[in-house]
A = this chain, B = another copy of it.
Amino acid sequence: MTVSAAVKTSDSRERVLDAAEKLFMERGYASVTMRDIANLLGVRQAALYYHAPQGKEQLFREVVDRFMQRQQQGLEDVIAAAPSHLEHQLTAVMRWLVTQSPVDMIRMLRSDASHISESYAAELLRKVDQSMMRPLITVVLAAQERGEIRPLDPHVMVGMLLAVINWIKYFDSSQAISVSTDDMIHDIIGVVLHGVVNR
């Protein structure tokens, strides 16, 4: 048997999820219509129901699950590949994150989740925590144990890093600023590690 035939979950289905991911992550659940997704794919709206028989909500859930799984794997990979030194690990993480679909987690938790169901917000928060925050918190805690950095609730630091990613991407896409993405990452990590104060 061929390898590809055994592994693949149908190519066109992946393409549907790709299109849905791009739009859902960028504009949010309510802003994106099934017609938007279909138009991006160059098919009719009804064709989406072959791939997602339970409709828009199923599509969103699968997009989120796949996205979070990919984030966790990607983060763990780049962290493992970097030297055990906070600066290198954070740089690797930030460089990986800016290459991914922009994910506005606050919007997902505060707005998107409310369109799915009451309990989905909690489930989503668990996924976000597990996939995106946990790997970074592990890195910060390890650096604390190595004595590289002072003790401090790692949530605060990780929140700062994740929050600023979307600004980097926005500055980059809107050309509202003349600094390159790599320079911004470098500056941000410089601030987080050593602060801005002259000494």
Chain B residues with CB below 8 A from A53, complex form: none
Interface residues of A (CB under 8 A from B): 26-31, 86, 102, 104, 106-107, 109-111, 114-115, 125, 129, 147-150, 152-153, 155-157, 159-160, 162-164, 166-168, 170-171, 174, 176-177, 179, 184, 187-188, 190-198
Contacts of A196 in B (CB 8 A): 149-150, 152, 157, 192-193
The reply to whether A191 and B27 form a contact with Cβ atoms under 8 Å apart is: no
26 contacts between A and B (CB under 8 A): A27-B111, A28-B28, A28-B107, A31-B115, A102-B106, A102-B110, A104-B106, A104-B110, A106-B170, A129-B176, A149-B198, A150-B196, A150-B197, A152-B196, A156-B179, A156-B187, A156-B191, A159-B164, A159-B167, A159-B171, A160-B164, A163-B166, A191-B191, A192-B196, A193-B195, A193-B197
The main secondary structure of chain A at its interface with chain B is helix
Q: Which residues of B contact A167 (CB under 8 A)?
A: 106, 159-160, 162-163
